[in-house]
Structure 1
Amino acid sequence: MRITQRAITQTSLLGLNSNLAALNKLQQQLTSGTTISRPSDSPTGTNTSMLTRRSIADNDQQARNITDGTTVLEATDSALQDMLAQTLKVRDLTVQALNSGAGNAETRQAIASQVSGLRESMLGQANQVVAGRPLFGGVTSGATAYDDGEFVGVAFDEDVKATAINRRVSDNETIRVDVTGPEAFGSPDGSNLFAVVQNIATHTTGDDQPALTEDLAALDEAISRLTEATADVGTRAQRMERAGTTNSARALTLSAALAATEDVDLPKTIMTMKAQEVSYQAALQVTAQVLQPTLLDFLR
């Protein structure tokens, strides 16, 4: 087999270009800090990277959902706690009104005034707005949940999932973040907390003891309902807190997985590049001895 000078030249150039391309790739990796600049660098790695980045995006959105849900639940819990405290104060005043020893007209009027004032304060709490939405209004598009004690929001319906306000906190878990007025304060048919408190104020002024006794029983039911709603919100807040912890841990895991797929191992890459440089320099020296000087002069 006859080996010509042209064949030697082409083989030498092919080897030099191969070494130079490998060296250039290593330099590019060090410059960019990543092992994948284009899909052809690593089709498998590119696929893994894309899946991991999508998981990171999902996890980031879930983190925002957790932050938003925590804000709503904390505001709801605070409102319910305040309303429970005020409702207990109304109960104390109701018991005082039922005390026959405190029964002159002026005293009853003073009690009724306090009860009415507490009712207005509770209505203010029930109409709290967070992020442009009334806390206890459900999925209503309105600005308030109650209008003078009448519920004007959208009540929760267990058979209609769209009436619940949920936040997705993981790939397979959602947490409800709202409590509607009827759930916390009673049915909107006129027997809710605000109607009971209004009746107490009216019956206290009229010194209607039998009616006040019935009002006290209704108020105890309202207190029980408020307590249950507060406990439910607290349970959901704990779930949200645990979801936040899990989300943070998953974010670290996904970041580490992405780094393992894409990031350059600096010590290893630098050593490999130095070895490639030595190989390239050796190839140049050998080529210079094999090829004719005039051709090398041309290549230079």
Structure 2
Amino acid sequence: MPGFRVTERSVATNTLANLQLNLQKNQDLQNQLSSGKQITKASDSPGGAVIAMQTRSDMATLNQYSRNGDDGMGWLNQADTALTSASTQLNRARELVLTGLSSGSAGSSQAREAIALEVDNLRGSMLDLANTQYLDRPIFGGTTSGDIAFDTNGNYVGDTGSVNRTIGANASVRVDTDASSVFGSGTGNVFNTLQKIADDLRNNPAALQDDLADIDTAQKRVQTGLSGVGSRYNQVSQMQQAADNRVLDLRTQLSDVEDIDLPKTITELSLQQTAYQAALAATAKVIQPSLVDFLR
């Protein structure tokens, strides 16, 4: 069986190739240690790179859900504040109606005028609350591009659209509030009711009994609206918390795929450096002076 001829050149070439391989491994470990990542390009781990990209995509989606939740809670917070104030105003209006009823037609016109003026002020305050804005949009105006939901006469100038926010894969929540459900619609809205109370205080105190029933109806609408806002706020808050928790889980998974095990990498680098030093020493012994070197 014939043998293969081994030359000094082939030995040197193979030795240098192995030395270069050791040096490359040493550089890879140094790059991992300096970056803290075991995957910096797809070729480092094709499977791991696919998992990392999918995980980042899922995190981006969940972060968007969380931002949508923040915006939704901003809308709902404004609605809660406005409706709470509206409920307080209606309680005061009811007290004024009862005051007017207690004196009735026998009361002085000046006293009834003073009560009527306060009711007028309450009506103006209610209009301001009904035109509450969030990010320059009326929260009771649907999707209108205008600045207000109700004009000074108490007429609705918004639209019937709804503002929704997607807070989960299959979860969308309305974050504005339907004006008719909390303030009433047409001639029976709360602004007309307050206007009628003021007029009755001035001109027809006997009609205040019916006005009291209208105020109670308006108060129930506002309280129901408050309940609905609170329910939607809780839903958005819970979904946002779920999204944030899932993001934390995905970050842990991403770290498991991408990040290095620091103690392990330091140990591997130390071993690789030792191996490289040994390879250098072996190379120095393998590549000896040849006959040509002596003939020069």
> When the two structures are superposed, what TM-score results if normalisation uses the length of structure 2?
0.91
Which position in structure 2 is the counterpart of 1:55? Answer: 58
Cα shift at 1:45: 1.0
Q: Quote the offset at 1:100 in angstroms.
A: 4.2
Map residues 1-300 of structure 1 onto 2, 5 A cutoff: 1-5=3-7, 6-100=9-103, 103-148=107-152, 149-155=154-160, 163-187=161-185, 189-209=186-206, 211-293=207-289
1:271 CA drift (Å): 0.4
How far the C-alpha of 1:291 sits from its partner, in A, is 2.3
The alpha-carbon deviation at position 3 of structure 1 amounts to: 3.4
Q: Deviations over 1:139-181 (max 9, x none)?
A: 10000111011110112xxxxxxx2211222223222211021
Counterpart CA distance in 1 for 2:196 and 2:173 is 36
For 1:294 and 1:165, the matched residues in 2 are separated by 86
Displacement of 1:94 in angstroms is 1.3
**Counterpart in the other structure of 1:160:** none
Distance 1:24 1:109, change over 3 A: same
1:159 aligned residue: none
Consecutive unaligned residues in structure 2, runs of 5 or more: none
Q: CA deviation at 1:182?
A: 1.1
Cα offsets for 1:52-88 (capped at 9, x unmatched): 1112212222222122111211111010000011011
- Tell me the secondary structure at the aligned position of residue 119 of structure 1: helix
More displaced 10-residue stretch of structure 1: 278-287 or 262-271: 278-287
Alpha-carbon contact 1:108-1:207 (below 8 Å) kept: no
Distance 1:37 1:294, change over 3 A: farther
User: Structure 1 CA distance, aligned partners of 2:211 and 2:289?
Assistant: 112
Instruction: Provide the rounded CA distance (Å) in 2 between the counterparts of 1:261 and 1:51.
Output: 12
Q: For residues 222-259 of structure 1, give each alpha carbon's deviation from its aligned partner in whole angstroms, at most 9, with x where no partner exists.
A: 11111100000011111222223223322221221111
Q: 1-side partners of 2:288 and 2:271: how far apart? A: 27
Larger Rg: 2
Contact 2:119 2:194 in 1 (8 A): yes
Q: Give the conservation status (yes or no) of the 8 Å contact 2:36–2:260.
A: yes
Whether the aligned pair in 1 keeps the contact of 2:131 and 2:138 (CA below 8 Å) is yes
Contact 2:63 2:244 in 1 (8 A): no
Percent identity, aligned pairs only, is 39
- Which segments of 5 or more consecutive residues in structure 1 lack a partner in the other structure? 156-162
State the secondary structure of the residue aligned to 2:143. Answer: coil
- Residue pair 1:154, 1:180 contacting (<8 A) in 2 also: no
Distance (Å, rounded) in 2 between the aligned partners of 1:261 and 1:183 = 52
Count of residue correspondences: 287
CA distance in 1 between partners of 2:251 and 2:107 (Å): 71
- Equivalent pair of 2:141/2:178 in contact (CA under 8 Å): yes
Secondary structure in 2 matching 1:56: helix
2:130 touches 2:149 (CA, 8 Å); kept in 1?
yes
Which shifted more, 92-101 or 218-227?
92-101
* CA RMSD between the two structures: 1.8
